[in-house]
């Protein structure tokens, strides 16, 4: 009767096994430091330009939208506060994670998928290397380090975008007040979720991308399918985990 549930449950079980082994390998020898650095460069440094772009425009549009709503209450001066809270708590982590998921979950899945269908993963195993240790763990570590840093960058650039709209463009407030209210509005709880969320999202993006890459079958068409699935599944899980974490942090704050 519930046979239709078997494939997704089995897939989830396989995902947990892969993610578990990749996580265990973080503290197990041998360590592939060079591979971690290479992935940090590819995934992290490579994502900086697009992070700056998205961060700036999300901050700017947030300030633009808020300007009208705040003006109704005569609170235009609070634009820095609203932009900072929204960016640090939600928009920064989620938008950066979605961006990195689109760029890197697909990249990871297609790279590992191509290696799988051309027998390179089997060759790696046959040559005495654990592909999870050599391929999955370095990507997991690299993303978990780089995504929080990219999020901090996106937050700051977003605040700058909000400043550009709120101060020189719409003259809602003064520069000093904008930065002061932004700074004062943020609490440790906000910073906590602003940094913890990207860490968890990074884990999801790397593990989901690697999972779909490592189970690729069916030649180049299979690689395309794995890539699409990796981006869709990682994006959905980012939203699901986001609401769960937000609820937890709100509960802690009260």
Binding site for another protein (CB under 8 A): 114-115, 118-120, 122-130, 134
End-to-end CA distance of the chain: 44
Quick check: helix, strand or coil at residue 173? coil
127 vs 243 by CB, closer to another protein:
127
Residues 6+ apart with CB under 8 A from 51: 96, 99, 150, 153, 154, 157
Number of H helices, E strands in the chain: 12, 0
81 vs 116 by CB, closer to another protein:
116
89 vs 116 by CB, closer to another protein:
116
Among 137, 50, 42, which residue's Cα sits nearest to residue 98?
A: 50
Look at the block and give the residue holding tokens 């930065």. 179
Distance CA 246, CA 30 (A): 37
126 vs 243 by CB, closer to another protein:
126
Distance CA 21, CA 167 (A): 50
Among 162, 158, 203, 199, which residue's Cα sits nearest to residue 53?
A: 158
Residue 144 beta carbon to another protein: minimum distance, rounded to whole angstroms: 23
90 vs 130 by CB, closer to another protein:
130
Residue 159 beta carbon to another protein: minimum distance, rounded to whole angstroms: 39
Residue 220 beta carbon to another protein: minimum distance, rounded to whole angstroms: 13
Residue 124 beta carbon to another protein: minimum distance, rounded to whole angstroms: 8
Distance CA 112, CA 214 (A): 6
C-alpha triplet 108, 112, 116: angle, nearest 5°: 160
26 vs 53 by CB, closer to another protein:
26
Residue 119 beta carbon to another protein: minimum distance, rounded to whole angstroms: 4
Residue 212 beta carbon to another protein: minimum distance, rounded to whole angstroms: 19
């Amino acid at each position: 009767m519930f046979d239709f549930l078997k494939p997704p449950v089995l897939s989830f079980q396989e995902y947990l096994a892969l993610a578990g082994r990749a996580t265990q390998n973080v503290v197990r020898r041998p360590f592939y430091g060079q591979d971690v650095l290479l992935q940090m460069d590819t995934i992290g440094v490579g994502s900086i330009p697009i992070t700056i772009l998205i961060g700036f425009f999300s901050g700017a549009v947030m300030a633009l939208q808020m300007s009208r709503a705040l003006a109704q209450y005569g609170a235009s001066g609070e634009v820095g506060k609203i932009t900072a809270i929204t960016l640090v708590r939600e928009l920064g982590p989620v938008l950066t994670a979605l961006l990195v998921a689109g760029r890197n979950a697909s990249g990871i899945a297609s790279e590992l998928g191509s290696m799988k269908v051309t027998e390179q993963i089997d060759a790696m195993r046959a040559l005495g290397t654990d592909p999870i240790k050599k391929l999955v763990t370095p990507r997991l570590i690299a993303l978990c380090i780089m995504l929080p840093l990219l999020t901090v960058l996106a937050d700051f650039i977003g605040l700058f975008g909000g400043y550009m709209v709120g101060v020189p463009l719409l003259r809602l407030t003064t520069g000093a007040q904008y930065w002061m209210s932004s700074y004062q509005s943020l609490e440790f709880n906000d910073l906590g979720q602003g940094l913890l969320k990207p860490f968890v999202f990074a884990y999801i993006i790397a593990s989901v991308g690697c999972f779909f890459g490592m189970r690729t079958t069916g030649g180049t068409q299979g690689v395309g399918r794995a890539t699409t699935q990796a981006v869709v599944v990682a994006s959905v899980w980012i939203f699901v985990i986001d609401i769960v974490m937000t609820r937890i942090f709100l509960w802690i704050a009260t």
